[in-house]
Every structure is written in C-alpha cells, then in structure tokens.
Amino acid sequence: MWHKRPTSFRRGVLFLAAATLVTPVLTFTQTTPAQAFGTIGKFGQQTEHERITRAALACRPNTPSDGTCFEPRSLDQVAGRSGTFGAVGAPDTDEVFTPAAHCDDADHLTSPGYPRSRAEATRALQSCVGQLQNRFAQGVTAAAGVLAADGAVAPGESDLGKDCTFSLGVPGRDKCEAIEGLGRALHGVQDFYSHSNWTDRAAPGPVGKANPPGLDLPAPSPLLSLTGGRPLLASAVPAELTTGCFSLVPLGCGKRVQHGDLNKDTGTIDPATGATSGPTTPRGRTGGNFDRAVHGAVTDTRRQWADFRAALTERYGEERGARIACVLTHDAPVRDCAPRS
C-alpha cells in the first residue's frame, strides 16, 4: 500500500545518492515525494507502511510474544521506526523503479480502445505476485540460520543490539535476512490495496480513466497467495481489476489509468488500532476508500505472517518451525526461545 516511492503509500522515493548510511541504520537526509503507502514522515507521507505493519503485527503493550506477534525491538526491524525504513520500507530505498515490487502498471479498463489489454495487465500483476513470492521464500530460507544444528538459538544470528540493514543487498544476521524477505513481501501486498481497485468504490458518475470502476471486494485477496510458489492464474483475475501506471516521465502513462487516478497512499493511520482519518488523495477521499485500503492491508499483513509461520513449520517441522518463529518475534530469543528440557 504504501511504498515510499516518488508518489507509493506514497513512494517516498529515496535517492540513495542523497541518503546517509549510518551503521547499520539507513537514515534519510533528502527525499523526493513518491507514490505509495508512505514510508517517511514528510512530503505528505505519514509513515503509512510502518503504521499498517504495527497495527497488524504488534504485541499488546507489556505483553510477551507467543510467537504470533512481534515484541517492540523486533517489530522496529519489520516496520521501521523514526529515522529508519525497516524491512517493510526497504523497497522504497532500492526498488523504487521496480513496478513488480509495488504492484504497479497492471492497468486495464474494459472500455473499447484502452491502450493496454487485459492480458498485458494480468502479466504485470503476475510479475508482482511472483516477485513477492520470491521475497517470501527468501525469508523462509534465511530463517533457518537463527538456530544451530542442535536446535539452540544462534546468538550471533539473532542479536538485535544493532539495527538491521535492509538496503543495497548488504548481507546481515539471519534474523535480519528473514525479516527482510518477509518485510519486502509485505510492502508489495500493502501497496496492492492502495494501488488497485480491489477494495474500492468508484465515485458517482461515469467510470473511466479518471474514475476507474471499484470492485469493493474483501481482504485478504486470494490473488496474493505467496506460499508454495504457485503462479497466479490469469483466470483468477477479475476482468475489471486495475492498478495504476506509474511513471516519472511527463505523459509517460499516456491515456492509461495513472497512479494519481487510483492511489489511496496517504492519510492518518492509528498504529495501535489501524483506525484511519484525513485521507489526502482524491481516490482515498472517495467513498471511504482510504479506510478500506488500509484495513485490507492490515488484514492481509496478518494473513501473510500467519502463512509465513505455517511455511516455517512445513519446511522445518513443528518444533523447529515454532522455535524459529519465536526467535523472529522475541527481543531476547536466547533467553525466551531455548529448547525446553
């Protein structure tokens, strides 16, 4: 939903040449507004990706994790915090111009003469789902390293004494690598709800490029199944599904549905409850679309984390998979996730 790209929930496009790497946290010094659920707290963005992720995955205050929610320090790595992007914001640092990372460019209208066919739009959506499946699988694979061969927690691979680094392909501790795979997948999942008409209602009046139809469908979307690597079937894609075309080139999207016509990238989100207010984009202000997109993103973020835990169990077995999930969610995993005698 919310990527921070030049306009993504809002693509807070971060130009890396203008960024400063402070070991090991990526901090931003200059940005240019982008389009996606927002990643930063300026240029009209209100850290929408972070807030969605916190609303979906945070443990209740002062409550230890049971392996299904993230304790504060670990959640900081997934969602980001002040001065950092977190794993969910990473695509807005180094995949700004990768449409598949944000589910962009899968635009289509059923009206005659639209310059992009249903098949072309579906292929773009399939590319997005494939990209997110790969990130999800990378996270599951990396997670194995948080445990030693005997099942004990590997301290050097699970320590969060320093923040993780998620950009530019810099390798890190296996807990960080696992969280990065999950977070990058969540970014695209969240952007799907901001950038598409899946949960939308159209404005009154004729539908068209400036007012695409709304599907008003519930979340989680069956199109975003990231487990098992099964390709998205074209037959599963609704005929009127569209995302927006994104381009930094003036008139680069021509007569196509543009990002600005469809996105619900920015507004206020309560990071504790997911409650929304003050949508700032035209489509977001229409018919409660910002609220529906945010709640769709929160719902699907929870689904993806549940599926991630299930994938850990399927790959590593019930006991080892549960311990890996414990390490990923706990701030003191050596103490809290040790094998029980």
Q: Is the peptide bond before 220 cis (omega within 30 degrees of 0)?
A: yes
CB 268 within 8 A of CB 286: no
pLDDT attached to residue 39:
58
In terms of pLDDT, which residue wins out, 29 or 186?
186
List beta partners, residue 21. Answer: 26
CB 44 within 8 A of CB 70: no
pLDDT(47) > 80: yes
Query: Could you tell me what percentage of the chain is helix, strand and coil, using 3-state DSSP and rounding each to the nearest 5?
Result: 45, 10, 50
Identify the CA nearest to 145 among candidates 331, 316, 330: 316
Identify the CA nearest to 39 among candidates 181, 205, 194, 252: 194
> Cα separation of 215 and 221, whole Å?
12
> Residue 32 has what DSSP assignment?
B
For 303-341, what is each residue's pLDDT tens digit? 999 999 999 999 999 999 999 999 999 999 999 998 875
Contact residues for 238 (Cβ-Cβ < 8 A; gap 6+) = 215, 217
pLDDT attached to residue 4:
40
3-state secondary structure of 251: coil
| One-character DSSP codes across 103-153 | T-S----SSTT-SS-HHHHHHHHHHHHHHHHHHHHHHHHHHGGGB-TTS-B
pLDDT(218) > 60: yes
Identify the CA nearest to 294 among candidates 263, 258, 257, 329: 263
3-state secondary structure of 262: helix
Greatest C-alpha distance within the chain: 68
* CB neighbour burial string for 59-93, b if at least 16 within 10 angstroms, e if fewer: beeeeebebebbbeebbbbbbbbeebbbbbbbbbb
Give percent of the chain above pLDDT 90: 80
Identify the CA nearest to 70 among candidates 309, 340, 338, 316: 309
Q: Token digits for 42?
A: 């300026």
pLDDT attached to residue 30:
30
Q: Is the peptide bond before 24 cis (omega within 30 degrees of 0)?
A: yes
CB 188 within 8 A of CB 101: yes
pLDDT attached to residue 8:
45
Distance of alpha carbon 250 from its chain centroid, rounded?
Answer: 27
pLDDT attached to residue 6:
38
pTM recorded for the entire structure: 0.90
In terms of pLDDT, which residue wins out, 295 or 167?
295
For 245-298, what is each residue's pLDDT tens digit? 999 887 889 899 999 999 999 999 999 999 999 999 999 999 999 999 999 999
Give percent of the chain above pLDDT 70: 87
For 107-117, what is each residue's pLDDT tens digit? 999 999 999 99
pLDDT attached to residue 44:
57
